[in-house]
Structure 1
Amino acid sequence: MKKNIVYALIFLWGLSINAQTKIYVSPKGNDNGSGEIKSPLRTIQSAIEKSRKMQGAVVIELLEGNYHVNKTIEVNREDLTIKSYNRQKVSVSGDMVIPVNKAIKIKDKQILSRIDKALVDKIYEIDFGKMGISIERIHAVGFGRASKEGWSELVVNGEPLKMSRWPNDSMEPIGKVLVSGNEKDKETGNLPVFKFDTDRPKRWEKADEVWLSGYFGYGYADDMIPVKKINYQDSTFHMADFTNYQFNSGKPFLQWFAVNLLEEIDTPGEYAIDAKAQKIYFMPKGEIKELRLLTLKAPLFAIENCKNVLVKGLTIENSRGIGVYIENAHNAVVDSCTIRNLGSAGVSMGKGNIPNDNKKLHNMANAGAQISREIGGMAGALYANPVLNRQAGTNNGVSNSYIYDTGAGGVILSGGDRLTLERGNSFVENCQIHDFNRIEKSYRPAVWIDGVGNRVTRCDIFNAPSMAIIFHGNEQVIEYCKITNVCTEIDDQGAIYYGRDPSERGNIIRYNYFKEISPRHSVMATYHDDLACDGKVYGNIYYKAGSKPVMIGGGKDNHYYNNIFINSPYAIHLDNRGNNWGKFMTVKGAIVDQRLNLVNYTQPPYSTAYPELVNYWKEGAEMSLRNVFNGNLFVNIKNVIHGESSMGEFYNNWDTPNDPGFVDINDPLKGFKEDAEVFKKIKDFPKLPFDKIGCTLKKK
């Protein structure tokens, strides 16, 4: 009898231990509770703290509801899962709920005089000053500037508002430039001045602030800066700040548009911030059912100095900063989450940088020290020091998730060490990433990759003014992705882009579908810029994929095979820029020399991993060599080659104006017929894995 009692006690003790591997949390709970399902805790952070006292793996189960946080949830315990309980709807947000009755019709006659009479009854105001809530004004954003958290934005009925602008869906050309704001002007403080050719600015005479956004100097560099004054007599804008380069005019992509004006709220879903009055004006889309103000500047989650962490099944939303930050972690995965309505990036792996001088723009020597939980001048820091280890960790990833309506990119993917070629093995897999540039545009892609040995697989990326993927480093893989309607505004950029470092080798771009990328400016699908080398590009479909789907700018050892090009003005651009206008990069002591020396390119591991690199200088750094194109299909391409055909080696390709045997030529992903002509015309042309391309998630 006693033995049976002992066994029963051991069994019950085992059940108790097992029960305690789970901690339950509810917005209606109490942090003094036991953490059992009948007595859940209230906050996620308290559950994490409780888990530290427990042995083995712990699962934190979040019951349905909204978890509003005012500081970062710090995850630094190993073997931890934070998930939705039974797939219930769980939202973790850095916002503040604003009572709907605080949105009122405008009564101030001076304010009403600035609005089109037909729209007076459609525009609301919220006076945050009266509520004792401080709201942040907009700030300059653009190419070369440090990435910051977003300003105070309003989410109405679950959707973030968009800043008012004129014109609504186009831009105005920059007129004659009177003061360019060049380097000499910057030294003397002589601010830019340029002419405009429209009467629209007369509507803005009563506005306290006018901001202009657009492409002021180059088509790849957007900027947004304030106007000091408008001279209506000579139709000139006098700017209050400098842009990164200088103002230019005369090219179709050099354009501007005005933003954040009460006078230009004319479309449902638009808003303008009046920071001086501490008010936000907006035009809702229909009835206002819910209002949330984005408040938290720091990341919602920070996973740091730990391993084996899973965040699953949550909606991470409504915050001014990063959604999930990961540093020095191993096997930290964000899975089956919706990440949206953020002022910064959705997920960021690795440290950022604080610029030494915030007034200096596009100065890569200004990168400053590394910093946790921020992005800042990270892009400039990597440009200045391409072997910088951002201390992200290894085997971290984002999978099966939706990322959209973010302010400054989707995922910053980092891992591995460029000096040792140690792999990071981190990933973004089976995700939908779209509309990810609400605030910052240039060089804020859906996925940014740096380090060694990371991958992006089966992602759908769409709707962006600029690039889909930027990568740096070695042995990165981009595969099975569907990339559509990106690079919609810019010039001289690519959907996938890298360059200006011949030591970045072993990268693979395979089995991707590039569709409907605008040929309006000089836009590419895959862009090997400024002497980029050793890209293996195969099995991709380029369907109406820009003005020049492929750009190889003077590099070596790039290999294109078994790709399909359909309906473009050109297919491939080749040039020898290292021997002409780009020779400044290849002289001794210049950027190419610096970057090769950083990785000790004549010594292992680089000399053994990339033997062609050892003779880089002997065979001519300026020479474009061994760029091979074989087994490619060109369908209805006006001119296969743009530039210098002698810079490439071409064989076993087929160029045809006719259908080569598609099941449906308007939908290439349906593949080829069994007896397609392509299999006869191109020797050993493979059956490509069309069915594996793209994300398996349903569109939201």
Structure 2
Amino acid sequence: MQVKNIKYVVLMSGLILLLLFPLWQGEQANSRQGALDSGSNASTPINLYVDASANAQQQNGSQEHPYATIQAARDDLRKRSKPLPSGGATVWVKEGNYQINATLEWTAADSGTVQAPITYRTYSGKKATLSNGTSVNPADWKPLSAEARERVNPAIQPGQLLELDVKKLGFQNIQGFTGGDYFTEKWGILQLIAGDAMQPVSQWPNKDDASAGNRAGWAVASGIVNEKSFYYDDKQNKDTSNLGRMARWQRAIQTGHGVYLQGFWRTVWSPATIRLNEIQPSSRSIHLSETPAGGIGSKFSAVANAATTDNQYRVGDGSEEWRLLNLLEEIDQPGEWAMDFKDGKIYYYPPKPIKEMNTVIADRTDPIIRINGASHLRFIGFELKNGLGNGINVQNSNHITLAGLTIRNMGNGAITDSGGSHNMIQSNTIYDTGSFGISVNKAGNRAKLTAANTRITNNHIYNTGLLVHLEPLIIRESVGLRIDHNLLHDVPKDAIRYTFSNKLLFEYNEVHNTGLVEGDTGAFYTAQDWSSYGNVLRYNMIHHNQRSNGFYADGGSSGNTYQNNIIQDTKRAFIVENGHHNIATGNLLIDTESMEINDRSDSLNYGLNSEYAKLLRGFHPMSGPWKQYGEKLAKQYGMKGNLWSSVLSASWNPQYPNGSKLSNNVLVGGATIKISKKGDVAAQGNVILNTVNEAGFYNYSNLDLRTQNKAILQKFPSLNKVINEIGLYKDQYRSQPVARNQYNGLSNHSAPDSHS
């Protein structure tokens, strides 16, 4: 299905201007992030000024006597008569460091209007930093106590480590992980930032050590004792190198120090972190304090061969990956640290003398900025960093612009937008976050199929999910968003996850190096919804993506149209698991393994009693806007009446992937095409070119995929134009978009440079 481009109106310099969609790539960047700017220094009828070094006795917001805080300028505007004069107001924030000890809040009382928007911004080319962290006095770092010295890894000297008594200093998030003794998507302990970078939590094996498993940073079980215990060594193994390590871990447990393992106990995604109960060196076994959901062992193992005697748990085969996290005993590389919950101390291996480093503790869980119930506000050009929570939370707000921001070193995510509409998230650079990058939830109204008309464009997001493996871009329960020209890479799992949403348009996005930690992922991933029709993914490029799939419609997701995308060096370019009307046409696949439509109805419930059917019925699809939508969709797919009448009919066999097609695609380098034997599915008109040389690309090594090959251009006529439009573009906020060859964007990478 083709979705008409939505014109978004943004407020700039007091005028209502149409934001044109750029159709070119910008100039090359001089740094990995690319150059950001806050745009031209245009004036508005009301102008207030902020300077962190302002004289506290003479503040009135003028250029001569600026306010010292952004809050003071906000309060000044809040007190003024509304509406403001046509053209609105601008708060000019001078470059410098602004310590944020309490969340900056904007509510309905702080709103602008269409004619009079309110802008908070930096000066063009200048950086104003909003930091939520607490600087540490170098004198507070001390040599290790005698007890701690006894625990130090034998590979290093105790004198190389320092300790910080965070309990004595009054920090709060030091008692334990938010998720307790068993968790997947929670972390919640304070973070150490040094040299302006998040420091890696200690781990074993080290992130560059592949000697203990199949890949660097992970060990594998050598066999399973029971549903929550496993062998760390083969019983017959004469190598005793692990005996000393396990003895140290066991002593830590016995003296009350929490020891935690993170493992892919049952699946290759969403690893669970669980506290250890005990280690038995005599049997070379590790015993978890809690049983992983379903027990240790792959959920895909054959039940008949793997069930325990009570038929409750599967037993693993010794391939389960695991690692230890956050323990003094495993600090053995510069930069590593651990938070000891019993001692109330951080232990740290500084890479250089501590007096030469600026160390910061991120301990505040509230966002740096919260916008709740407001409208017609713009925040431009700031750097936000060093918080334990999110950078910016937007709630139930509209016509909010977040542009030209840099958000990094955040313990959780960068930007959330919940319940918003007509918002613009543009030209931001986001990296080094503990969790997600941008998360949008309940934008628009699914029950009424009302579009949010929010746009997410020209953002560069990478190295996210360093603590909790969430995606750089998440969209849930939303309708009518445009997501375009974003560059997403170097992430532990999916790059874009969109679920329970309709009428999303993804175009001109560039994605590479996803799934660097987890398995069974997709660069673009969606799942579990028969009602998710109208999502269009076109003109996107996925490349250098060996550990992940390309476009993944999992678990019954339906109504995705994949048109004129480029998928290179990826496992399965398309994978459709049941669901309906997932159509891939005119796409270019290069050096991929396969594209597939699978049927799992024999093993999983995809029928009329499934959760997918219940969700669709919950929208009352035979009346109101959903009835009209169903009639429109039926006509689009060449069906009679209302689409939902078929989907919810047993005679249509909705348990099968009906209506899904892989048609008129070009497969360069060969790829297997697999389709289900059941259901109304098809793979037709696809062209296979056996080698890259046959394709005649202008410069394949640099991903210049322009070509004069007639077979390719017949299926993808606009390729030579589209290839130069994909990814970041030059605008008033991003003056120098980053180029692939300037940040190692033309190769396959290992895991992000963190404990993940």
With the length of structure 2 as denominator, give the TM-score of the two structures: 0.77
1:633 — aligned with what?
666
Alpha-carbon distance in 2 for matches of 1:94, 1:629: 49
1:73 — aligned with what?
104
- Using the TM superposition, name which of 95-104 and 304-313 deviates more: 95-104
Alpha-carbon distance in 1 for matches of 2:716, 2:77: 60
1:280 Cα deviation from its structure 2 partner: 1.0
1:123 — aligned with what?
161
Q: Does 1:672 align with 2:706?
A: yes
- The 5 A counterparts of 1:513-552 are 513-519=541-547, 523-546=548-571, 548-552=572-576
Alpha-carbon distance in 2 for matches of 1:69, 1:309: 20
Q: 1:647 and 1:251, CA in 2 relative to 1: closer, same or farther beyond 3 A?
A: farther
1:284 — aligned with what?
350
Partner-residue secondary structure (3-state), 2:440:
strand
1:629 Cα deviation from its structure 2 partner: 2.4
Q: Does 1:661 align with 2:695?
A: yes
Q: Does 1:204 align with 2:249?
A: yes
Q: Does the 8 Å contact 2:49/2:92 carry over to 1?
A: yes
Q: 1:684 and 1:134, CA in 2 relative to 1: closer, same or farther beyond 3 A?
A: closer
Q: Does 1:608 align with 2:628?
A: yes
- Using the TM superposition, name which of 108-117 and 548-557 deviates more: 108-117
Query: Pick from 171, 174, 178: which aligns with 2:218?
Result: 171
2:308 — aligned with what?
none
**Residue ranges of structure 2 left out of the alignment (5+ in a row):** 1-42, 113-117, 208-216, 234-241, 299-315, 635-642, 730-736, 744-756
Amino acid corresponding to residue 225 of structure 1 in structure 2: I
Deviations 1:533-558 (CA, angstroms, capped at 9, x unpaired): 11110111111112x22111112211
Deviations 1:395-443 (CA, angstroms, capped at 9, x unpaired): 11321111111111000123100000100112221111111111111x4
Q: Does the 8 Å contact 1:633/1:655 carry over to 2?
A: yes
1:586 — aligned with what?
607
Q: Does the 8 Å contact 1:413/1:426 carry over to 2?
A: no
Q: Does the 8 Å contact 2:485/2:727 carry over to 1?
A: yes
Deviations 1:588-611 (CA, angstroms, capped at 9, x unpaired): 3x3122111111122232232233
2:273 — aligned with what?
224
Alpha-carbon distance in 1 for matches of 2:167, 2:714: 72
2:66 — aligned with what?
40
- The 5 A counterparts of 1:503-514 are 503-514=531-542
1:193 — aligned with what?
229
1:685 Cα deviation from its structure 2 partner: 7.2
2:193 — aligned with what?
155
Q: 1:302 and 1:130, CA in 2 relative to 1: closer, same or farther beyond 3 A?
A: closer
Query: Pick from 328, 337, 350: which aligns with 1:271?
Result: 337
Alpha-carbon distance in 1 for matches of 2:582, 2:181: 28
Alpha-carbon distance in 2 for matches of 1:146, 1:109: 32
- Using the TM superposition, name which of 531-540 and 49-58 deviates more: 49-58
Q: 1:124 and 1:483, CA in 2 relative to 1: closer, same or farther beyond 3 A?
A: same
Query: Pick from 444, 469, 483: which aligns with 1:456?
Result: 483
Alpha-carbon distance in 1 for matches of 2:506, 2:669: 26
Q: 1:31 and 1:450, CA in 2 relative to 1: closer, same or farther beyond 3 A?
A: farther
1:251 Cα deviation from its structure 2 partner: 6.1
Alpha-carbon distance in 1 for matches of 2:121, 2:182: 38
Amino acid corresponding to residue 722 of structure 2 in structure 1: P
2:286 — aligned with what?
237
1:651 Cα deviation from its structure 2 partner: 2.8
Q: Does the 8 Å contact 1:652/1:682 carry over to 2?
A: no
Q: 1:193 and 1:604, CA in 2 relative to 1: closer, same or farther beyond 3 A?
A: same
1:270 Cα deviation from its structure 2 partner: 1.4
**Residue ranges of structure 1 left out of the alignment (5+ in a row):** 1-17, 181-191, 351-391
Q: Does the 8 Å contact 1:135/1:275 carry over to 2?
A: no
Q: 1:606 and 1:461, CA in 2 relative to 1: closer, same or farther beyond 3 A?
A: same
Q: Does 1:325 align with 2:348?
A: no
Partner-residue secondary structure (3-state), 2:444:
strand
Alpha-carbon distance in 2 for matches of 1:92, 1:695: 25
Partner-residue secondary structure (3-state), 2:248:
helix
2:434 — aligned with what?
407
Partner-residue secondary structure (3-state), 1:52:
helix
Q: Higher strand share goes to which structure?
A: 1
Q: CA RMSD in A?
A: 2.6
2:493 — aligned with what?
466
Q: 1:507 and 1:66, CA in 2 relative to 1: closer, same or farther beyond 3 A?
A: same
Alpha-carbon distance in 2 for matches of 1:642, 1:282: 53
Q: 1:95 and 1:20, CA in 2 relative to 1: closer, same or farther beyond 3 A?
A: farther
Q: 1:394 and 1:693, CA in 2 relative to 1: closer, same or farther beyond 3 A?
A: same
Q: Does the 8 Å contact 2:192/2:362 carry over to 1?
A: yes
Q: Does the 8 Å contact 1:140/1:225 carry over to 2?
A: no
Q: Does the 8 Å contact 1:106/1:112 carry over to 2?
A: no
Q: Does the 8 Å contact 1:96/1:292 carry over to 2?
A: yes
Q: Does the 8 Å contact 1:149/1:297 carry over to 2?
A: no
Deviations 1:615-669 (CA, angstroms, capped at 9, x unpaired): 1133121122222222211011242337659863233321111234343463474
Alpha-carbon distance in 2 for matches of 1:252, 1:487: 22
- Using the TM superposition, name which of 80-89 and 107-116 deviates more: 107-116
Q: Does 1:576 align with 2:607?
A: no
Alpha-carbon distance in 2 for matches of 1:128, 1:576: 54
1:366 — aligned with what?
none
Q: 1:621 and 1:78, CA in 2 relative to 1: closer, same or farther beyond 3 A?
A: same
Deviations 1:246-282 (CA, angstroms, capped at 9, x unpaired): 3216468731100111121122221111122221112
| Identical positions, percent | 21
Q: 1:684 and 1:84, CA in 2 relative to 1: closer, same or farther beyond 3 A?
A: closer
Q: Does 1:438 align with 2:466?
A: yes
Q: 1:423 and 1:615, CA in 2 relative to 1: closer, same or farther beyond 3 A?
A: same
Q: 1:501 and 1:482, CA in 2 relative to 1: closer, same or farther beyond 3 A?
A: same
Q: 1:163 and 1:686, CA in 2 relative to 1: closer, same or farther beyond 3 A?
A: closer
Amino acid corresponding to residue 509 of structure 2 in structure 1: C
Alpha-carbon distance in 1 for matches of 2:563, 2:463: 28
1:298 — aligned with what?
366
1:103 — aligned with what?
141
Q: Does 1:51 align with 2:77?
A: yes
Q: Does the 8 Å contact 1:65/1:91 carry over to 2?
A: yes
1:36 Cα deviation from its structure 2 partner: 1.2
Q: Does 1:558 align with 2:602?
A: no
Alpha-carbon distance in 2 for matches of 1:134, 1:592: 42
Q: 1:44 and 1:240, CA in 2 relative to 1: closer, same or farther beyond 3 A?
A: farther
Q: 1:470 and 1:133, CA in 2 relative to 1: closer, same or farther beyond 3 A?
A: closer
Number of residue pairs matched by the alignment: 621
Structure number with higher relative contact order (C-alpha < 8 Å, ≥ 6 residues apart): 2
Amino acid corresponding to residue 133 of structure 2 in structure 1: D
Partner-residue secondary structure (3-state), 1:517:
coil
2:306 — aligned with what?
none
Q: 1:299 and 1:245, CA in 2 relative to 1: closer, same or farther beyond 3 A?
A: farther
With the length of structure 1 as denominator, give the TM-score of the two structures: 0.83
Partner-residue secondary structure (3-state), 2:149:
helix
Deviations 1:435-473 (CA, angstroms, capped at 9, x unpaired): 1111111x4443334310112211111111111111121
Partner-residue secondary structure (3-state), 2:52:
coil
Q: 1:78 and 1:532, CA in 2 relative to 1: closer, same or farther beyond 3 A?
A: same
1:679 Cα deviation from its structure 2 partner: 4.5
1:262 — aligned with what?
328
Query: Pick from 603, 620, 624: which aligns with 2:657?
Result: 624
Alpha-carbon distance in 2 for matches of 1:293, 1:302: 21
- Using the TM superposition, name which of 29-38 and 142-151 deviates more: 142-151
Partner-residue secondary structure (3-state), 1:691:
coil
Q: Does the 8 Å contact 2:653/2:679 carry over to 1?
A: no
